[in-house]
Amino acid sequence: MPFHLNPNQIEYIQRLFKHADSLIISAGAGMGVDSGLPDFRGNQGMWQAYPELGKQRIDFTEIANPAAFKHLPRLAWGFYGHRLDLYRRTMPHQGFHLLRQLAEALELPYFVFTSNVDGQFQKAGFDSKQIYECHGSIHHLQCLAACKQDIWSADELTPDIDHQDCQWLGQLPLCPNCRHLARPNILMFDDYAWLNQRQKQQMQRLDTFLKIHHQPLVIEMGAGTAIPTVRYFSERFAPDLIRINPREFTLPAQGGIALATNAESGIHSIYRIFIE
């Protein structure tokens, strides 16, 4: 169901698109909620999705941590292996497709800026050369000790997880070089060994994009305030900003427009302005 926009909102959005020369699509964990993915808003959501972590009172910052891989490798890989499996199985909701179709129909070059590690934009057909994953990707691996600068694909990995106990069963993923533990190539908390060459290359492409396009319009979805990387980036372009968020929809002082709704219906309502 598209979100109901009043005539003022429609006019405002039309004006934003009229003077935009490009589109920045920015997204946090809330973007995946309409595809059925959990965000990790507060311990309740996180512990509901992972009851064993709740039982042990382990919060997101403690499990999303290289130290967890070192001291509790089966639990850490239980959590990440389950997510890898989940993100592989998940189909991106219709909003992803409407966004891509909108950019194509209006001939607006786009770039995606996301803290999501789930690869859902790639899956929805967005060009991987036009995506910046500021926190890395769960579909890539690296050595826990960073013995070499290598990053490799997780495609060969088949997680076998006891979801009840959040335990990785069987052989743990290993670094092909030193044969010690491997980990996802994701920026975690207290993380001094994250290999960032993929992210750096993506950032260079984003920089080039922003050098060519001087009037981008940002559509931001589901970016939270707890780790505000995505929000800060979006706000650089305000007032040329459409913020879609059912709860944390406050705009920066420079302005913009907030749609207090979920990602899919917010995108749908924008799409309908331009394409019937």
Ligand X SMILES: NC(=O)c1ccc[n+]([C@@H]2O[C@H](COP(=O)([O-])OP(=O)(O)OC[C@H]3O[C@@H](n4cnc5c(N)ncnc54)[C@H](O)[C@@H]3O)[C@@H](O)[C@H]2O)c1
Is 218 among the residues that bind ligand X (CB under 6 A)?
Answer: no
How many residues belong to the site for ligand X (CB under 6 A)? Answer: 28
Q: State the nearest-atom distance from the C-beta of 64 to Zn ion, in Å.
A: 21
Is 219 among the residues that bind ligand X (CB under 6 A)?
Answer: no
Place of tokens 């290289």: 66
In sequence order, which ranges of the chain are alpha helices (DSSP H)?
7-18, 30-33, 42-49, 51-55, 60-63, 66-71, 73-89, 94-105, 120-123, 197-212, 229-235, 263-274
Is 242 among the residues that bind ligand X (CB under 6 A)?
Answer: no
Q: State the nearest-atom distance from the C-beta of 180 to Zn ion, in Å.
A: 5
Is 184 among the residues that bind ligand X (CB under 6 A)?
Answer: no
Q: State the nearest-atom distance from the C-beta of 174 to Zn ion, in Å.
A: 8
- Whether the CB-CB separation of 131 and 117 falls below 8 Å is answered with no
Is 34 among the residues that bind ligand X (CB under 6 A)?
Answer: yes
Contacts of 1 (CB under 8 A, 6+ apart): 265, 268
Q: Which member of 32, 78, 184, 256 binds ligand X (CB under 6 A)?
A: 32
Q: Which member of 3, 17, 26, 28 binds ligand X (CB under 6 A)?
A: 28
Q: Which amino acid is at 247?
A: R
Buried b (16+ CB within 10 A) or exposed e, 61-73: ebbbbbebbeebb
Task: Tell me whether residue 38 or residue 73 sits nearer to Zn ion (CB atom).
Answer: 73
Which residues ranging from 71 to 130 are in contact with ligand X (CB under 6 A)? 115-118
Is 133 among the residues that bind ligand X (CB under 6 A)?
Answer: no
DSSP structural state of residue 113: E
Measured CA to CA in angstroms, residue 147 lies from 151, 175, 194, 195 at distances of: 11, 9, 11, 11
Give the residues lining the site for Zn ion (CB under 5 A).
143, 147, 175, 177-178
Q: Which does 151 bind (CB under 5 to 8 A by kind): ligand X, Zn ion, none?
A: none
Interacting residue ranges for ligand X, rule: CB under 6 A: 28-30, 32-34, 37, 39-41, 115-118, 135, 221-224, 226-227, 244-248, 262-263
